Chains A and B, each alone.
Chain A
Amino acid sequence: MTAVLPLATLASSLLTAAVIFMLPEQALRTRTALNLAAALVKLVLVIWMAWGLIAGEVYAVEFAVVEGLSFVLRVDALGLTFAGLSSLLWLFTTIYAIGYLEDSPNRRRFFGFFSLCVASTLGISLAGNLFTLLIFYELLTLSTYPLVAHRGTPQALAAATVYLRYTLSAGLLLMIGMVALQVLAGDLRFGQQEILAELGPAAHPWLIGLFWLLILGFGVKAALVPLHGWLPRAMVAPAPVSALLHAVAVVKAGAFGIVRLVYDVYGIGFSAALGVLEGLVVIACITILYGSLRALAQQELKPRLAYSTVSQVAYIVLGIGLFGPLGTIAALAHLLHQGLMKVTLFFCAGNYAEELGIHRIDELDGVGRRMPLSSLAFTIGALGMIGLPPVVGFISKWMLGMGAVQAGKPWVIAVLVASTLLNAAYFLPILNRLWFRRGPAHGVGAWPAERAPSRLETSAWLLLPALATALLSLLAGMLAGLPFSPLQWATRVVQQTYLMP
């Protein structure tokens, strides 16, 4: 029983991918049903595992690949945080993608790699050692490439090439780092951080060097400045892929890798002792400010959101760098919060592009009148990004601020506030345009490319996921005190895993 659940969860996406590749391109209904069923099954399985984990069950699979190197899947609370996020958002993203790619070519290829991508995300979250993590990490890289290049335009192909260059070279660094750690300390499982700590001071320079090497590797996917170049270029991908890149899988995988590295490979106490956390904080702060500044200068919606991701994901790294329980809670909670908010924003940006052909920010005048529900969802997401209560972004920012003060770094608050102001400076004008400007809906000018009107403001497949994630990000903030809110779950993870001796 204990081995079945993680394998089944992994298989739920892997098998789906295989079956979808075998289905003919025209098998529309079967593919849709299969996709949705797989997403639901996976969500149920993850919830089941979470339930079991709280009840004290142990879920683990492992076998030796070669002597001294094993493939380990092991379910822990931290991994389930990421697994839960990706399986929940995958459900919404799948629904959205089905609506978004209606009547477009190559859907078999798209959904096949889509499933493969989520399978690898799940593998990353359940991996029990660096080797397993690395396998799925590379699989994620390879399975997202066709998605980024999906449109097949020269621009898309160029962006996908850039993506591949960045991520593959990062993968190489990761591999070197992993092998070196293996040589130093043997087959390290996550959670055996005392082994590294016992290596003695002679190994510390090596360990510090390897730490930064691995951070360099994970930092590419987490889009830390200056390794973020691929992310804004990958904006040419279709909206569900952007959502996947930014909120569900890729960027989060990088951030999750850093979490694993700091908490489960090195151990937070040992990392603090090595003095590497200060560096993380500085990098995160630079990324937060630089991303926001670049976002401010963008004139198109999706690149602005992309730079906003660069800035927001660094919050997670910042939380990790703040040594102390509150910082960790903030990091884990923001992992979930940022996913909910950013996926909403990308869904809405996709809706604008699909329904009205809007890509530039100055074309958004008066859209609130034409697409009130999408704009409402966008507003909730944007206010959350700014960090206004009661949206979840406020909770993240609050916990980060608390963590910063308790870690003895009150200057971080200045960074947080500057980021809040910059966020307001690049999101509020969009909201102003959406709601308070006169545009084509008021009879001024025309939309770039309006689709034939449908019963709702846009297709229900596109509208409902955006509304659902917006509602979730609102509720998760308003009811942050409820037992299974992201904040409380993060608190539980931190209490169970890190504070217990």
Chain B
Amino acid sequence: MTELSLAPFPLLRLPLAPLLFAALLWPLLLGLRAALGATISLGQPRPHLSRPLNQPLSQSLHQPLDWLWISAPWPALALVVLGPDGSLWLEAWLLGGCWELDDQRRLLLAFSALLWGLAGWYARGYFAAEQAQAAAGDPDSRARLLRFALFWPLALCGNLLLLVAEDIASFYLGFALMTFSAYPLVIHNGTREARTGGLAYLVMAVLGEGMILAGLLWGAGTGSALTLSELRATLATADMGLWMGLLLWLGFGVKAGVIGLHLWLPLAHPVAPTPASAVLSGVMIKAGLVGWLSTLPLGMAGIDDAFQGLGRAMLTAGLIGAFAAALLGAAQRHPKAVLAYSSVSQMGMIAALVALGLLQPDSWPALSVLVLFFAAHHGLSKGALFLGVGISEQPPRLPAWLLWTLLILPALSLAGALGSGLIAKWSTKKALEAAGEETLAVWLSLAAVGTTLLMARTLWRQWRPWRETIETNQRPGHSLSTSHRPSQTLRASHSPSPNPSSNPDQNDQHLLAPMPLAWLLGIVAALSLPFWAGWLAGGLTAELADQLADGIDGELEGAFSRQLAGGLASPPLSALPALLWPLGLGLLFSIVLGWSLRRVATRLSHWLPAGDLWWPLAFCGRWLWCLARGLLQGLVILQAAWIAWWVARERDGLTGLEMLTRAEGWLRRQLALLLLAVALGLAVVLLLNAKSTLLWP
């Protein structure tokens, strides 16, 4: 592998261990800094710590999201670029730690760290108003920001750890750390909706963690496995491997949005701050996919036949998810809810591809590369789309046509019409044909129609408010700078920041302000993914080429040899119609449906609220809880009655004792009399008996 690898900087390879430690510890340190800042500021009500609120304690307290904070994923990026392949053993860590870096992990790390970095940068602009309020001395916004500044790097650290972990304990730690640290990000606003979204997120996450723990314990216990590769090998051959696989599939499926377990996605995404939604949907749900890839025996020779059934279940669930989410998403009103359903749909497609690893182990090596590429493509494009939602709410100074072109680009890419999307689609089609799964290819193309529909819907839902804002602003008396800004209008009563340089109003509409720039870079990164992904993980692409070269004709072999240098192949012009028809069909559908359903659209959205099954399930859950509590109360009453019965018996016993004592006392008092009576009686008896004999002869 290392000989084949066309790694980007062969000239500079630093040792692995310090890079790994830096990548994982740097976010932790930044989180610690925020926690310290929080401790200082939380001490405010104390007399000994009370200072005038606007006197600067430290920079990190007033502007928690500073430049240093943004740098959290940078060491990870350095690790991606400069780190050599290899593994690191840590004897003392948990149950024995093993962290690894290879081509697969490098690609995952690359797009994850990139999106975390861009979203963090974006957050700096997104929270500019809140930061200004914090600097002006509003304790609530400062507390919220500090919380965000603490948990964002923690979630990042967890995400990075789960990507590099090879031992099960570290993997589980990373997964749990990421999951639970993301909860405060979801409920950042503290509104009622945010709490509902957070609750849905947390409940589903805990259920998922439970299933993951069960699967991991069972698998690891059966094979005495400590590392993920040992676990995969165990699963492939164990008697009950299928059930372990099922638990792991469902457990990670909560994160990856398998249909039925996806409930948290459309509830949590719209309420989370936009940068958090971007990483939730772009990177964190990929952790579910990474979980599948790391624990399921995909593409293993000698795999138990029972896994065929699991593979079919995954495939079916994936396809159902891809279509159902498209339909549910098309009924949503909030653009971020539409995007969340789109994530469910896309992850469904990826899950269908993963399922092939169980159904057709032979074709897995080619497919696994594709799955990774698809994941990276979806992560970055979806990230750019989410960031775009914030951009359309607070548009930078760009001509409208340019703004909307830029907003549409990642949507087109996700629908498979250009850039990484087109290439992912083309490669998928080819790989599926090579694996003899033409039917699946058709289904996936049909699912792409759904994607187009969702993209059209979300852009439409973005366009409407933007249009209204522009129209409002063009009326006299409104300047662009006091434009629609939800977080600011919410607390418009607060005085503006005394410090003009931190006043966001002038700054954040320049093209080079954090928000637009991060967004632009996100689009660029998403569209150029094929170039740098191949460049970064050259070995992987070469492997894909090797695997595919057997099954395709000579005309295409040239394309794959080009791909070694320039990433994955672009499709030839002649193949374009076959790839673009879903887009056309999807657009047609969107227009027809949008026009014909415009009257009932509101009612439709009302019938199908975001989170679909969550509401009936939550109702049932509450009902069950009441029932369980009633039962428990009954049990407690029963127990109390039982104890009371025993206590009563004890009292009976005591009463009996007391009677005895009383009888004894009576006996004591009357003893002389009694004895006398007995003596008398005896005497009488004697006298009567002695009647016959003469006493005095």
Contact = CB atoms under 8 A, between A and B. Distances in A.
B92 interface: yes
B180 interface: yes
Interface residues of B, number: 48
A9 to B, nearest CB: 30
A186 interface: no
Contact of A481 (B94, B190, B217): B94
Contacts of A428: 202, 206
A269 to B, nearest CB: 21
* Most interface-central of B140, B209, B633 (chain A CB within 10 A): B209
Given A428-B202, A480-B95, A420 B184 contact: no
Interface string B193-226: 0000000001000110111011001101110100
A446 interface: no
Interface of A: 226, 229, 293-294, 297, 368-370, 372-373, 387-390, 394-395, 397-398, 401-406, 410, 413-414, 416-418, 420-421, 424-425, 428, 435-436, 438, 441-442, 453, 455, 457, 477-482
Nearest to A226: B639
Contact of A420 (B39, B95, B143, B210): B210
A389 B172 contact: yes
B218 A413 contact: yes
Interface stretch (B9-17, B40-48, B328-336, B467-475): B40-48
A167 to B, nearest CB: 16
Interface of B is mostly: helix
Contacts of B202: 428
Contact of A442 (B38, B140, B224): B140
A1 B340 CA distance: 72
28 contacts: A229-B639, A368-B42, A369-B143, A373-B39, A388-B176, A390-B94, A390-B173, A397-B213, A398-B95, A398-B217, A401-B213, A401-B217, A401-B218, A402-B217, A402-B221, A405-B222, A410-B240, A416-B213, A417-B217, A418-B210, A420-B213, A435-B184, A441-B42, A455-B48, A478-B94, A480-B92, A481-B93, A481-B94
Interface string B160-196: 0000000001001100100010001001001000000
Contacts of A457: 43
B550 interface: no
Given A294-B632, A441-B42, A480-B95, 11 more contacts: A297-B636, A394-B169, A401-B217, A402-B217, A402-B221, A403-B221, A404-B221, A410-B218, A421-B207, A481-B91, A481-B96
A19 B227 CA distance: 56
Contacts of B682: none
Interface in B341-364: none
Contacts of A455: 48
Contacts of B220: 398, 401-402
Interface of B: 38-39, 42-43, 45-48, 90-97, 140, 143, 169, 172-173, 176, 180, 184, 187, 190, 202, 206-207, 209-211, 213-214, 217-218, 220-222, 224, 240, 628-629, 632-633, 636, 639, 643
A238 B121 CA distance: 50
Contact of A417 (B45, B95, B214): B214
A410 B47 CA distance: 57
A406 B94 contact: no
Contacts of A370: 42, 45
The A contact surface, by secondary structure, is helix
Nearest to A410: B218
B143 A410 contact: no
Contacts of B636: 294, 297
Given A421-B207, A436-B184, A413 B217 contact: yes
Q: Which 8 A-B pairs have the closest CB atoms?
A: A405-B221, A401-B217, A389-B173, A481-B92, A402-B221, A417-B214, A482-B92, A424-B206
- Determine which residue in A370, A413, A418 has the highest number of CB atoms from chain B within 10 A of its CB, and name it: A413
B569 to A, nearest CB: 42
Contact of B42 (A369, A387, A403, A481): A369
A441 to B, nearest CB: 7
Contacts of B97: 481
